[in-house]
Amino acid sequence: MSEIEIAKAPPDELFQLETDTWTEPYWNGCKDHILKLPKCGDCQHYVELGASHCRHCLSQNIEWVEHSGKGKVYSFTIVRFPVIPSLQGSVPYVPAVIELEGVDGLRLISNVIDTPLSDIDVGSEVCVHWHDRNDGVSLPRFKLIKP
Protein backbone atom coordinates (compact mmCIF):
# COMPACT_ATOMS: atom_id res chain seq x y z
CA MET A 1 0.00 0.00 0.00
CA SER A 2 1.50 3.32 -1.00
CA GLU A 3 1.16 6.32 1.24
CA ILE A 4 -0.70 9.29 -0.17
CA GLU A 5 1.14 12.52 0.59
CA ILE A 6 -1.09 15.52 1.23
CA ALA A 7 -0.02 19.13 0.73
CA LYS A 8 0.00 20.74 4.17
CA ALA A 9 -0.29 24.35 5.20
CA PRO A 10 2.94 26.18 6.00
CA PRO A 11 3.21 27.62 9.53
CA ASP A 12 1.99 31.15 10.19
CA GLU A 13 5.48 32.41 11.11
CA LEU A 14 6.56 31.93 7.53
CA PHE A 15 4.67 34.96 6.31
CA GLN A 16 5.06 38.44 7.78
CA LEU A 17 2.38 40.85 6.65
CA GLU A 18 3.42 44.34 5.66
CA THR A 19 0.75 46.58 4.21
CA ASP A 20 0.95 49.95 2.55
CA THR A 21 -1.44 52.29 0.77
CA TRP A 22 -1.33 50.09 -2.31
CA THR A 23 -2.06 46.76 -0.66
CA GLU A 24 -4.28 47.71 2.29
CA PRO A 25 -7.60 47.30 0.40
CA TYR A 26 -6.44 43.83 -0.65
CA TRP A 27 -5.70 42.73 2.92
CA ASN A 28 -8.90 44.33 4.23
CA GLY A 29 -10.80 42.28 1.65
CA CYS A 30 -9.03 39.14 2.85
CA LYS A 31 -10.25 39.85 6.40
CA ASP A 32 -13.80 39.70 5.02
CA HIS A 33 -12.88 36.62 2.95
CA ILE A 34 -13.30 38.56 -0.26
CA LEU A 35 -10.58 38.53 -2.89
CA LYS A 36 -10.36 42.17 -4.00
CA LEU A 37 -8.08 42.89 -6.91
CA PRO A 38 -6.71 46.21 -8.14
CA LYS A 39 -7.93 47.27 -11.56
CA CYS A 40 -7.19 50.43 -13.52
CA GLY A 41 -10.26 52.68 -13.53
CA ASP A 42 -9.14 54.25 -16.80
CA CYS A 43 -8.02 51.42 -19.11
CA GLN A 44 -9.60 48.49 -17.19
CA HIS A 45 -6.45 46.36 -17.04
CA TYR A 46 -5.68 44.60 -13.78
CA VAL A 47 -2.86 46.21 -11.88
CA GLU A 48 -0.06 44.27 -10.21
CA LEU A 49 -0.68 43.94 -6.49
CA GLY A 50 1.35 46.59 -4.68
CA ALA A 51 1.85 48.81 -7.71
CA SER A 52 1.07 52.51 -7.29
CA HIS A 53 -0.16 52.97 -10.84
CA CYS A 54 -1.28 51.14 -13.97
CA ARG A 55 1.68 50.11 -16.11
CA HIS A 56 -0.37 50.48 -19.28
CA CYS A 57 -1.57 54.05 -18.96
CA LEU A 58 0.22 55.22 -15.77
CA SER A 59 -3.10 56.13 -14.20
CA GLN A 60 -3.29 56.12 -10.42
CA ASN A 61 -7.04 55.68 -10.58
CA ILE A 62 -7.09 52.19 -9.07
CA GLU A 63 -10.40 50.47 -8.36
CA TRP A 64 -10.86 47.35 -6.25
CA VAL A 65 -13.02 44.64 -7.77
CA GLU A 66 -14.23 41.41 -6.19
CA HIS A 67 -13.02 38.15 -7.67
CA SER A 68 -14.56 34.67 -7.40
CA GLY A 69 -11.32 33.13 -6.17
CA LYS A 70 -11.25 30.57 -8.95
CA GLY A 71 -8.09 30.07 -10.94
CA LYS A 72 -5.39 27.72 -12.14
CA VAL A 73 -1.98 26.68 -10.92
CA TYR A 74 0.52 28.62 -13.02
CA SER A 75 3.59 27.13 -11.35
CA PHE A 76 4.39 25.35 -8.11
CA THR A 77 7.12 23.72 -6.08
CA ILE A 78 7.00 21.05 -3.41
CA VAL A 79 8.92 21.81 -0.22
CA ARG A 80 9.74 18.48 1.42
CA PHE A 81 12.56 19.30 3.79
CA PRO A 82 12.19 21.60 6.80
CA VAL A 83 14.84 24.29 6.25
CA ILE A 84 14.08 25.82 9.65
CA PRO A 85 12.99 23.89 12.79
CA SER A 86 9.50 25.44 12.89
CA LEU A 87 8.77 23.82 9.54
CA GLN A 88 9.01 20.35 11.05
CA GLY A 89 5.50 18.90 10.82
CA SER A 90 4.49 21.29 8.04
CA VAL A 91 6.16 19.51 5.16
CA PRO A 92 5.40 18.79 2.45
CA TYR A 93 3.86 22.11 1.56
CA VAL A 94 3.31 23.61 -1.87
CA PRO A 95 4.10 27.25 -2.69
CA ALA A 96 2.34 28.11 -5.92
CA VAL A 97 1.72 30.94 -8.32
CA ILE A 98 -2.01 31.16 -9.02
CA GLU A 99 -3.42 32.58 -12.22
CA LEU A 100 -6.90 33.87 -11.46
CA GLU A 101 -9.81 33.32 -13.82
CA GLY A 102 -10.26 36.21 -16.25
CA VAL A 103 -7.38 38.16 -14.78
CA ASP A 104 -4.51 39.18 -16.99
CA GLY A 105 -1.33 40.66 -15.57
CA LEU A 106 -1.84 39.81 -11.92
CA ARG A 107 -0.89 36.51 -10.33
CA LEU A 108 -1.01 35.56 -6.67
CA ILE A 109 1.77 33.83 -4.80
CA SER A 110 0.08 31.46 -2.38
CA ASN A 111 -0.09 27.81 -1.37
CA VAL A 112 -2.01 24.80 -2.58
CA ILE A 113 -3.23 22.86 0.46
CA ASP A 114 -5.22 19.75 1.47
CA THR A 115 -4.57 18.05 -1.84
CA PRO A 116 -2.66 14.87 -2.71
CA LEU A 117 0.69 15.96 -4.13
CA SER A 118 0.26 13.68 -7.12
CA ASP A 119 -2.92 15.56 -8.14
CA ILE A 120 -1.24 18.98 -8.33
CA ASP A 121 -0.10 20.04 -11.76
CA VAL A 122 0.37 23.15 -13.86
CA GLY A 123 -3.11 24.07 -15.06
CA SER A 124 -4.92 22.38 -12.16
CA GLU A 125 -8.11 24.25 -11.33
CA VAL A 126 -8.23 25.69 -7.85
CA CYS A 127 -10.42 27.86 -5.69
CA VAL A 128 -9.66 30.04 -2.71
CA HIS A 129 -9.95 28.94 0.92
CA TRP A 130 -9.31 31.34 3.76
CA HIS A 131 -6.93 30.84 6.60
CA ASP A 132 -7.63 33.07 9.60
CA ARG A 133 -4.58 33.64 11.73
CA ASN A 134 -4.69 34.40 15.44
CA ASP A 135 -3.35 37.90 14.80
CA GLY A 136 -6.37 38.92 12.69
CA VAL A 137 -4.70 38.42 9.32
CA SER A 138 -6.49 36.20 6.80
CA LEU A 139 -4.54 34.52 4.03
CA PRO A 140 -5.90 33.19 0.76
CA ARG A 141 -4.87 29.61 0.06
CA PHE A 142 -6.02 27.33 -2.71
CA LYS A 143 -7.48 23.86 -3.00
CA LEU A 144 -7.99 21.79 -6.10
CA ILE A 145 -11.45 21.74 -7.63
CA LYS A 146 -12.21 18.10 -8.23
CA PRO A 147 -13.55 17.41 -11.72
Query: Contact positions toward Zn ion, by CB under 5 A?
Result: 40, 42-43, 45, 54, 56-57, 59
Give CA–CA dist 24/74, Å, rounded.
Answer: 25
Give CA–CA dist 109/71, Å, rounded.
Answer: 12
Report which residue's Cβ sits closest to Zn ion.
56
> Please, which residue, 26 or 76, has the CB nearer to Zn ion?
26
The least CB distance from residue 72 to Zn ion, in Å, is 22
Q: Which residues of 107-127 are buried (b: 16+ CB within 10 A; e: fewer)?
A: bbebbbbebebeebeeebebe
> Please, which residue, 8 or 45, has the CB nearer to Zn ion?
45
> Please, which residue, 40 or 113, has the CB nearer to Zn ion?
40
The least CB distance from residue 125 to Zn ion, in Å, is 27
Give CA–CA dist 123/97, Å, rounded.
Answer: 11
The least CB distance from residue 56 to Zn ion, in Å, is 3
The least CB distance from residue 36 to Zn ion, in Å, is 18
Considering only CA atoms, which of 44, 86, 92 is closest in space to residue 65?
A: 44
> Please, which residue, 52 or 88, has the CB nearer to Zn ion?
52
